[in-house]
């Protein structure tokens, strides 16, 4: 079985010309640019070095990525044979290295191919896909490429299963997929598709020395109405997060397939109930499910992905990784710190490169907390909290050739009241927009814009988060026929406040 030693052997033993043949159609994509080292990572380090305002930890910078990208190993299985015969390239079509090249072109520092499972897929994954991942890491070293999959979660819709980068990563994914993925057994085993099996999977993942990450995909794609959920329900999220709070950490706020309208489908392929500004209802609904989870004090994060299978220019419903949606993680350019950022909520998400950097900081009596962190406030003393929102607009054109402009930034707060009695609760009535800011409200500081606001007399536990848009919609509207490039949003993850 391959491991990181094999990756090292490949680096020394495979020529550039031989590597290029693994890229397939990607080699013909002029947009992929020259294969030179240092590109995105070097740019990130330079960005970190010249940032104004609050200093980040070491060389941490906002590093954009995508944890839900399909390659040619999202294929199909012919179950008329025993064992089933795998045919690659029937769903996703691009080699792993093609995805990595395009991710690099569109400014990503990291990504993960998250291919579909199926009967005996765990064996296909380790024997066929993993060696290609190792080759892709050599060909495109500027993009950190995680090993993982689109996990066939028992009793739920698909989930990211992201494996930490280490010498036993292939064995670790094989163990989890072969033991718990609901579609892996052949013949099929109905006992795999139960919530009890999902909980068993999360317990096993949580017990591992190197803990993976689990993030729900397109969580409301099967929902039939606002608050009428399908495969994924609030109760299941709560049960899973209670079981493995450092493993099961969130859902896609902005699902992929954002170019679906170009193929004649609803945005993101949400056929039964639409997205809102390109975001899942669980995230976009003010005071909705995400706020309900945060109101319990849960560390539950949102991400944004491409779910790339086939680019819209070739008849598909997708953008390239990073072309439209990005998940930004505050981290150093290494696998461990990026995964730590995802696990601990140092994340903001955006579409259309409306902005390229976002910081949210809450300060009280000299103490400061940022996204994913907790600000501790002495309730017997000074309880005003100073809020600083710092964002950087795009300097140039986005993937559509536009120069988008931020029209508004919203500061949102909600109370933390503890665990709910109704495990299917999906509202937080305390959540509200406490301030809206337009261009006249922010100040230019170097390349950034800064907004400051004071939360007066904070007397209870709470959280704060930020969103912004290039639209004039007070709340994101249900998506229809509008171009996704005209409907751009960004969301921070929350900062928590603990009043003692």
What one-character-per-residue DSSP string does 59-104 give? Answer: T-EEEEEEEEE--TT--EEETTSSSPEEETTSSS-S-HHHHHHHHH
DSSP 477: P
Residues 37, 140: Cα–Cα separation, whole Å: 8
Task: Give me the pLDDT at residue 21, please.
Answer: 56
Task: Give me the pLDDT at residue 23, please.
Answer: 58
Task: Give me the pLDDT at residue 58, please.
Answer: 57
Residues 201, 488: Cα–Cα separation, whole Å: 36
Task: Give me the pLDDT at residue 379, please.
Answer: 82
What pTM value is reported for the model? 0.92
341-379 pLDDT, tens digit each: 999 999 999 999 999 999 999 999 999 999 999 999 998
The answer to whether the Cα torsion of 195, 198, 204, 207 is positive or negative is negative
The phi and psi torsions of 40 (rounded to 5 degrees) equal -70, -40
Residue 223's nearest CA partner among 185, 260, 251, 261 is 251
163-186 pLDDT, tens digit each: 999 999 999 999 999 999 999 999
Residue 150's nearest CA partner among 305, 33, 325, 296 is 305
Contact between residue 494 and residue 465 where contact means Cβ atoms under 8 Å apart: yes
Residue 460's nearest CA partner among 410, 412, 411, 413 is 413
What one-character-per-residue DSSP string does 343-369 give? Answer: HHT-EEEEETTSEEEEEEEEEETTEEE
> Distances from the Cα of 121 to the Cαs of 127, 182, 380, 460, in angstroms?
10, 11, 58, 49
Task: Give me the pLDDT at residue 167, please.
Answer: 97
The answer to whether the Cα torsion of 314, 404, 252, 131 is positive or negative is positive
Contact between residue 208 and residue 248 where contact means Cβ atoms under 8 Å apart: no
DSSP 228: B
> Distances from the Cα of 242 to the Cαs of 234, 246, 288, 297, in angstroms?
12, 9, 20, 12
The packing angle between helices 130-139 and 4-13, to 10°, is 50
Q: Residue written as tokens 């909980």?
A: 199
Q: In what order do the strands lie in the sheet with 367-370?
A: 367-370, 355-364, 385-393, 448-455, 443-445
Residue 324's nearest CA partner among 68, 112, 39, 44 is 68
The phi and psi torsions of 342 (rounded to 5 degrees) equal -65, -40
pLDDT in tens, the chain (500 residues): 333 333 443 443 444 454 445 555 544 453 444 333 333 444 444 444 433 333 344 599 999 999 999 999 999 999 999 999 999 999 999 999 999 999 999 999 999 999 999 999 999 999 999 999 999 999 999 999 999 999 999 999 999 999 999 999 999 999 999 999 999 999 999 999 999 999 999 999 999 999 999 999 999 999 999 999 999 999 999 999 999 999 999 999 999 999 999 999 999 999 999 999 999 999 999 999 999 999 999 999 999 999 999 999 999 999 999 999 999 999 999 999 999 999 999 999 999 999 999 999 999 999 999 999 999 999 888 899 999 999 999 999 999 999 999 999 999 999 999 999 999 999 999 999 999 999 999 999 999 999 999 999 999 999 999 999 999 999 999 999 999 999 999 999 999 999 99
Contact between residue 352 and residue 493 where contact means Cβ atoms under 8 Å apart: no
Q: Which residues of 79-97 are buried (b: 16+ CB within 10 A; e: fewer)?
A: eeeeebebebeebbbbbbb
Residues 484, 500: Cα–Cα separation, whole Å: 44
Copy the structure tokens of residue 257: 């397939």
Copy the structure tokens of residue 473: 């919609």
End-to-end, the C-alpha distance of the chain in Å comes to 52
* Cis amide leading into 83 (omega within 30): yes
* Cis amide leading into 187 (omega within 30): yes
> Distances from the Cα of 177 to the Cαs of 185, 216, 303, in angstroms?
10, 16, 23
Task: Give me the pLDDT at residue 40, please.
Answer: 42
Task: Give me the pLDDT at residue 287, please.
Answer: 98
The answer to whether the Cα torsion of 242, 247, 249, 254 is positive or negative is negative
């Amino acid at each position: 079985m391959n491991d990181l030693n094999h990756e090292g052997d490949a680096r020394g033993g495979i020529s550039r010309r031989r590597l290029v043949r693994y890229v397939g159609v990607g080699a013909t994509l002029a947009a992929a640019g020259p294969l030179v080292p240092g590109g995105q990572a070097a740019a990130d380090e330079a960005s970190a070095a010249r940032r104004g305002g609050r200093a980040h930890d070491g060389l941490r910078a906002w590093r954009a990525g995508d944890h839900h990208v399909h390659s040619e190993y999202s294929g199909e299985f012919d179950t008329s044979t025993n064992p089933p015969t795998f045919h690659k390239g029937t769903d996703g079509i691009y080699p792993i290295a093609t995805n990595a090249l395009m991710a690099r072109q569109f400014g990503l520092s990291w990504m993960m191919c998250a291919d579909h499972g199926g009967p005996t897929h765990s064996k296909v994954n380790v024997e066929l896909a993993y060696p290609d991942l190792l080759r892709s890491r050599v060909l495109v070293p500027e993009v950190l490429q995680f090993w993982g999959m689109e996990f066939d979660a028992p009793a739920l819709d698909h989930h990211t299963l992201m494996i930490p980068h280490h010498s036993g990563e292939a064995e670790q994914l094989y163990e989890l997929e072969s033991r718990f993925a609901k579609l892996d057994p052949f013949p099929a085993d109905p006992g795999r598709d139960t919530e009890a099996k999902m909980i068993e999977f999360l317990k096993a993942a949580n017990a591992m020395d190197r803990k993976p990450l689990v993030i729900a995909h397109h969580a409301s794609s099967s929902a039939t109405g606002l608050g009428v959920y399908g495969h994924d329900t609030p109760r299941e999220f709560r049960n899973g997060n209670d079981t493995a709070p450092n493993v099961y950490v969130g859902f896609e706020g902005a699902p992929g397939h954002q170019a679906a309208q170009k193929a004649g489908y609803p945005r993101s392929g949400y056929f039964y109930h639409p997205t809102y500004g390109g975001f899942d209802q669980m995230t976009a609904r003010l005071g909705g499910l995400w706020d309900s989870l945060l109101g319990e004090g849960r560390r539950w994060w949102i991400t944004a992905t491409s779910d790339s299978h086939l680019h819209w220019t070739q008849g598909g419903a997708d953008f390239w990784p990073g072309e439209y949606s990005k998940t930004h993680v505050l981290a150093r350019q290494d696998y461990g710190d990026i995964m730590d950022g995802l696990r601990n909520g140092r994340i903001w998400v955006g579409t259309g490169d409306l902005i390229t950097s976002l910081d949210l900081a809450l300060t009280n009596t000299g103490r400061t907390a940022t996204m994913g962190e907790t600000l501790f406030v002495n309730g017997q003393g000074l309880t005003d909290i100073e809020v600083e929102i710092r964002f950087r607009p795009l300097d140039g054109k986005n993937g559509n050739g536009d120069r988008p402009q931020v029209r508004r930034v919203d500061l949102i707060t909600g109370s933390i009241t503890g665990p709910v009695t109704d495990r299917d609760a999906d509202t937080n009535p305390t959540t509200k927009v406490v301030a809206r800011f337009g261009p006249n409200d922010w100040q230019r500081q170097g390349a950034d814009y800064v907004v400051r606001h004071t939360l007066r007399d904070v007397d209870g536990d709470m959280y704060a988060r930020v969103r912004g848009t290039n639209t004039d919609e007070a709340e994101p509207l249900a998506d229809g026929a509008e171009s996704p490039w005209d409907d751009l949003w960004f969301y921070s993850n929350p900062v928590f406040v603990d009043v003692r």
